[in-house]
Amino acid sequence: MESISNTSAVQLLVRQARAAMIEFRSASQERVDEAVTAIAWALYEDSNAAELAELAVSNTKLGNITDKIQKNKRKTFGTLRDLLRVKTVGAIEKDEENGLIKYAKPVGVVAAVTPSTNPAATPINKCMMAVKGRNAVIVAPSPAGWITTNAAIQKVREQFSIIGVPENLVQILPAPVNRPMTEELMKACDLVVVTGSQNNVRGAYSSGTPAIGVGVGNVPVVVDETADLDRAAQLICASKIFDNGTSCSSENSAIVLDEVYSAMRECFQRHGGYIANPEEANRIRSSLWTEPGKLNRKLIARDVGVLIHQFDLSASIEDTKFIIVEETGIGPDFPFSGEKLSLVLTLYRASNILDAREKIRKILSYQGTGHSCGIHTNRLSRAKDFAENLDVVRVLVNQAHTFGNGGGFTSGLNFTLSMGCGTWAGNSISENLSYRHFINITHLSTEIPEDKPSEESLFGAFLREYHPNYRIRGWWLVR
């Protein structure tokens, strides 16, 4: 009976979505941009941003209200900036040299699977991108975040009603959301976009529907001897504590070179870092993980005062913003080397820059494959070396990851809350999710002057090097 109910509910939503798309398909670019702006306003407006932040913390017990308000507004504002600068209707690109004109088309009904960590910002972000491509979207939220996500979606539909856009362009699975219903939606839609648990990502890839999933975060950053240590500590601290560490881009490990290790340690302390002693570190470990590889959900994304009490630390609640644990090992036997989703930062010492790079490699191989890393340095060559030699999608230089990885006003990366990690992490994209992933492209090709080079120009150098006695139709001469 439950599966029939799930199927019926999903089929109704999909039918409504397809009907809304038919009505919206002929919308002009200006009309599409009005709809996208309406979605943004539903979350960006001050009272809505605050209400949805309060709901999120109340219902999920994750993060804090002040930062969620900022996230709701900042991510929405930045995404709207990006989307209003691009075309997704009609001819969006002309390549006269190659005789090509590219036309954007919708991908269809999008299933947007969203997490409890950002139950308002992430679904709104995906809805903006999907509707920019003239698609309909059905949100499948985490059960823990449904109340907040539903409230956000209803605010979008209210804005659509005001401007006269089909409300069913944006819908949400009814409560109680469960895995069978989400799986049914994945199969019924035209594209699945998943942010959240790796179980959901794997489910999307095995649904039979084209899918985009994202990987696990566990960002390591290096601080070298040339860095502005105080600024590096300030940026890492601000990024780490934002929304109590809920972001997948939040720094999880800092790798500091030997010659500035002690000085950097002091900088962290000045910016609110409490360095746990070995005995306290053991208590943190036993409390933060209920079993190997499984974080204690009662402690993730909680206020630092809760952690200090739970870990029985001697830290001052007034002075402490986050907790630092010094570590030497990496891998399953050293859980501090993984993602912690909490106000806990792991601190490593590196003998030189190559040792630091190798530690990044090992940390990401354990957890966070392909996602991101960073370096605080005055030597750009070191950052370029990381980018060339490490299998990551993003390398940030002298930036706070939480405010740069998913787009920033001083970062060229586009705004998003879903970050692909490439095939390294089993993902289909190696970039930030954007409007481009929500459009199909029709290529109009017209004839151009023949572009056919000679055989000699293509094969000559190769043959001279490896087949010096080979002749082709008379143009090849034996040297």
Among 184, 154, 185, CA closest to 171:
154
Q: What is the largest CA-CA distance in the chain?
A: 86
pLDDT at 479 over 50: no
219-414 topology per CATH: Aldehyde Dehydrogenase; Chain A, domain 2 (3.40.309)
Domains of the chain, residue spans: 2-214+433-441, 219-414, 454-479
Q: Is 248 a catalytic residue?
A: yes
Dihedral sign computed on CA atoms, order 349, 351, 356, 361: negative
Tell me 116's DSSP state: S
Mean pLDDT rounded to a whole number for the chain: 95
Determine what percent of the chain is predicted with pLDDT higher than 90.
Answer: 89
CATH number of the structural domain 2-214+433-441 = 3.40.605.10
Given a contact cutoff of 8 angstroms between Cβ atoms, the answer to whether 268 and 239 are in contact is: no
Q: Which of 189, 248, 267, 421 is catalytic?
A: 248
- What are the strands, taking DSSP E only, across 335-454? 344-350, 370-376, 392-397, 439-445
Give 81-114 pLDDT, tens digit per residue. Answer: 999 999 999 999 999 999 999 999 999 999 999 9
CA distances from 109 to 6, 160, 170, 187, 438 (A): 18, 18, 10, 11, 10
Q: Locate 201 and state its tokens.
A: 């990502």
At 43 the pLDDT is: 98
Confidence class of residue 1 from pLDDT cuts 50, 70 and 90?
very low
Q: Give, for 337, the enclosing helix (H) or strand (E).
A: none
Amino acid present at 428: S
Rounded-to-integer distance, Cα 276 and Cα 33, Å = 51
Q: Locate 166 and state its tokens.
A: 């089909």
At 441 the pLDDT is: 98
Lowest mean pLDDT among 231-235, 291-295, 445-449: 291-295
Determine what percent of the chain is predicted with pLDDT higher than 70.
Answer: 97
Rounded-to-integer distance, Cα 460 and Cα 66, Å = 65
Rounded-to-integer distance, Cα 427 and Cα 391, Å = 13
Given a contact cutoff of 8 angstroms between Cβ atoms, the answer to whether 36 and 132 are in contact is: yes
pLDDT at 53 over 90: yes
Confidence class of residue 478 from pLDDT cuts 50, 70 and 90?
very low
Cis preceding linkage at 176, omega within 30:
yes
Give 297-335 pLDDT, tens digit per residue. Answer: 999 999 999 999 999 999 888 899 999 999 999 999 999
pLDDT at 5 over 80: no
At 42 the pLDDT is: 98
At 117 the pLDDT is: 93
Among 249, 197, 195, 243, CA closest to 219:
249
Rounded-to-integer distance, Cα 92 and Cα 85, Å = 12
